[in-house]
Structure 1
Amino acid sequence: MATAAAASGLAGEMEVEAYRRLFPLAFLERHLGQSIRPDARRLSQVRETTVALGAVSTAHGSALVRLGDTTMIAAVKLEVMSPTAESPDEGSVVVEFHMPPICSPLVRPGRPADAAPVISKALEDVLMSSGMLNLKELCLISGKASWLAYLDIYCLNADGSLFDAALISAVAAFTHLETPLVSVGDDGRVFTVGGNEGKTKFEFVNREKRKLTLGDIPFSLTCALHKDIILADPTSEEESIIETYVTVVVDSSDRIVSIQKLGGSVASMEAIKGCISLAKERRHQLRDVLTNSVEAMEVDQTE
């Protein structure tokens, strides 16, 4: 009897999985009709999010972020550069988002993912327009030397809401960032100096490693819209079925930084307002996650 019951249960699971693959929209709508999603989340519920600072030992600032099964690693490397004539007392930031083939079966070796440059541009726009980074803080010697910050974000696993995970990883990497010590050589060249190297040999431009003073921090939430039903933080399965998405970015003062709608039909104002409301709730959650990650790192450093 037990064997028959097990076989019947297995057959039932196989039928459900076959229905899920053959009729994905109908499968999703059956769940939405009961205000639940295929992964058992509520419609407005986001996946568990974790942030681990200092994931890359060779970077000046880094973080590993998991949003459900979506996984990102972000690293910031600083290099000394000559500032531009237009902004002699400012540094620069370059953002690159990478999707290697390991992140998704949809990414083919030798062919860059179409989404990568779009996310790169969106990240750079948000980081600059939010006011989180003060480029004057990246100045070393006005008109002569400043920091060029290379932010590289690698998607290790793509399971939906890529921009949201990439943005929190970028924010976390800059939160972890420490600027290295810098000295000026006899030839006037500015160069970085290791932390324990030549304390008396060099005259330092900056006397100690320091963290950047971050302004209003941007946080984002992507919502999928299906017949004005809002699904917060969609998975890749949901994204493959639903055509309309809205990504809302709000800062730490609850000001709207950007609203971007991708694909699909025209969304109602009520749906847009619902997405904004959920994004503001999400902002509080992500702030707590980020704060907890900083506290965890400080505890590790004191042990």
Structure 2
Amino acid sequence: MASSATTGNPMPPSLSMPPSQFARLQPHAYLRAHLSPPSSDQPSVRANGRATSQFRVTSVNTGSLTHANGSAVVRIGDTTAVCGVRAELLHTSDISSWGVSQAPSKQNPTNTNEAKDSKSEDEDDQGQIQDLNLLVPNLSLSTGCAPGLTPGAPPSALAQSLSHQILSLLHTTNLVRADDLRIWYQPPNFDSEEFHNPGEGMEVDTEQSGGPEREIKAFWVLYIDIMILSMAGNAFDAAWASVLAALRDTKLPNAWWDDDNETILCSDDFAEAHRLTLRGLPIASSFCCFEGDAAAGWRANVIPDAEEQKKKKGSQQKWILADPDGYEEGLTQERACVVVDKENGKTIIVKMEKHGGWNVDSDDLRKLVDVSSQRWDDLKQALEQC
């Protein structure tokens, strides 16, 4: 029998396909084939080459925007977020309910011997920041950062959801102190002996002599603008890390109340600017749960006892993937986010949420806390080096 080379007939095409084409045609089977090791001794490896609990390389740069009080650029893999913090003044005279809602005792407690504890201070800060909207985050997705984002389109539901998540986390963590945003004024005590005998130069305590209490004249409002330049999965972690880095880089100018002109004046000297004293360093770590059964979602709705059968068989495979990329996010529905902080070497759970499924149980969440604690150490080092 003559071969195709001698007869001139072309060779039949190969039935194999490159991995990239297989990933597009059968994405679920492609990812499952990578996560399923040939033997139980080998660990699961994702399609991008990472382990299930491995995060992408993170880089942080601060001070990138010259016309902002603080800025940062955070890149997690191919996901890039830039954040700029802009401070504006809010006079108390422009707050309609200021004179009614703010009693003098709240501005300057009469009993100075008893200092406020940290809990009451946090509650006071949280209430004042939320009531006056002193923190205003806004996230936007730049055109071309991901497929489907066309020019001129209205804000997507994802952008609005991420903005709400960042605002909620800012309020939950009490990250920014309200006292850093207050501009105080101490009225002079004209009844003191200092004004009646100016030549003697006596030092008089205004509190002991019954002088007027100091009052808040204005607040700094922080507009936190985040833009996702490129989105390749896990946009929330990148956005929140950029907010953290930008707030750590924020400097507010020295401001005071000018009684003669009845306005707020700010110093142009950059050396007099002060940084924000943030509470802790809450770092968010996001995860997704990949199910080995591609039909688990609709089977639970069609078959009434599918969930019970699934638990009895115990054959359902699941992989919890840390820092999912865009390819993995498109194949998963259940998500989890763990926000942790550390104090004196002890891990503190700030916030924990899960949605989209029921595969991730309490044992899995305990493991995610350990992974998030390690992630905290790595990201803290990146933030301190910038």
Q: TM class, shorter-chain normalised?
A: 0.7 to 0.9
CA–CA separation in structure 2 for the residues paired with 1:271 and 1:169 = 28
Match of 1:216 among 270, 276, 280: 280
Match of 1:115 among 158, 164, 167: 158
Corresponding residue for 1:129?
A: 172
CA–CA separation in structure 1 for the residues paired with 2:175 and 2:243 = 11
> How big is the shift at 1:43?
1.0
Equivalent residue letter for 1:94: V
Contact 1:74 1:151 in 2 (8 A): yes
Contact 2:74 2:242 in 1 (8 A): yes
**Can you give the 5+ residue segments of structure 1 that lack an aligned partner in the other structure?**
1-10, 197-206, 294-303
Query: What root-mean-square deviation, in Å, do the aligned CA atoms of Structure 1 and Structure 2 show?
Result: 2.1
CA–CA separation in structure 2 for the residues paired with 1:273 and 1:248 = 10
Corresponding residue for 1:82?
A: 91
Q: Does the C-alpha gap of structure 1 residues 127 and 17 become closer, same or farther in structure 2, counting only changes over 3 Å?
A: same
Contact 2:135 2:224 in 1 (8 A): yes
Corresponding residue for 2:3?
A: none
Q: Does the C-alpha gap of structure 1 residues 95 and 13 become closer, same or farther in structure 2, counting only changes over 3 Å?
A: farther
Contact 2:64 2:73 in 1 (8 A): yes
Query: Deviation digits for residues 23-74 of structure 1, max 9, x if unmatched?
Result: 0000000011120011111111100001001011100000010000000000
Corresponding residue for 1:58?
A: 67
Q: Does the C-alpha gap of structure 1 residues 12 and 149 become closer, same or farther in structure 2, counting only changes over 3 Å?
A: farther
> How big is the shift at 1:183?
4.6
Note the 1:90-239 alignment, pairs <5 A: 92-109=134-151, 110-141=153-184, 142-185=215-258, 186-195=260-269, 208-227=272-291, 228-239=318-329
Partner-residue secondary structure (3-state), 1:259 = strand
Match of 1:241 among 304, 317, 331: 331
Give me the identity figure in percent.
Answer: 29
Corresponding residue for 1:286?
A: 379
Contact 2:78 2:231 in 1 (8 A): yes
Highest CA radius of gyration, 1 or 2?
Answer: 2
CA–CA separation in structure 1 for the residues paired with 2:15 and 2:378 = 38
CA–CA separation in structure 1 for the residues paired with 2:155 and 2:221 = 25
Partner-residue secondary structure (3-state), 1:57 = coil
Contact 1:126 1:257 in 2 (8 A): no
Corresponding residue for 1:299?
A: none
Contact 2:290 2:331 in 1 (8 A): no
Equivalent residue letter for 1:76: V
Match of 1:24 among 22, 27, 36: 27
CA–CA separation in structure 1 for the residues paired with 2:146 and 2:266 = 38
Equivalent residue letter for 2:167: E
Match of 1:47 among 34, 53, 56: 56
Query: Deviation digits for residues 73-101 of structure 1, max 9, x if unmatched?
Result: 00100111024524686661111111122
Contact 1:127 1:218 in 2 (8 A): no
Partner-residue secondary structure (3-state), 1:97 = strand
CA–CA separation in structure 1 for the residues paired with 2:17 and 2:383 = 40
> How big is the shift at 1:195?
2.8
Contact 2:289 2:359 in 1 (8 A): no
Partner-residue secondary structure (3-state), 1:290 = helix
> How big is the shift at 1:184?
4.0
CA–CA separation in structure 1 for the residues paired with 2:26 and 2:59 = 33
TM-score, with normalisation over the residues of structure 1?
A: 0.84
> How big is the shift at 1:164?
0.6
Corresponding residue for 2:206?
A: none
Moved more, 104-113 or 219-228: 104-113
Contact 1:80 1:191 in 2 (8 A): no
Query: Deviation digits for residues 93-129 of structure 1, max 9, x if unmatched?
Result: 1111111223111323322121111111111111222
Query: Deviation digits for residues 118-146 of structure 1, max 9, x if unmatched?
Result: 11111111122212211121101243211
CA–CA separation in structure 2 for the residues paired with 1:12 and 1:218 = 51
Corresponding residue for 2:354?
A: 261
Count of residue correspondences: 273
CA–CA separation in structure 2 for the residues paired with 1:182 and 1:283 = 35
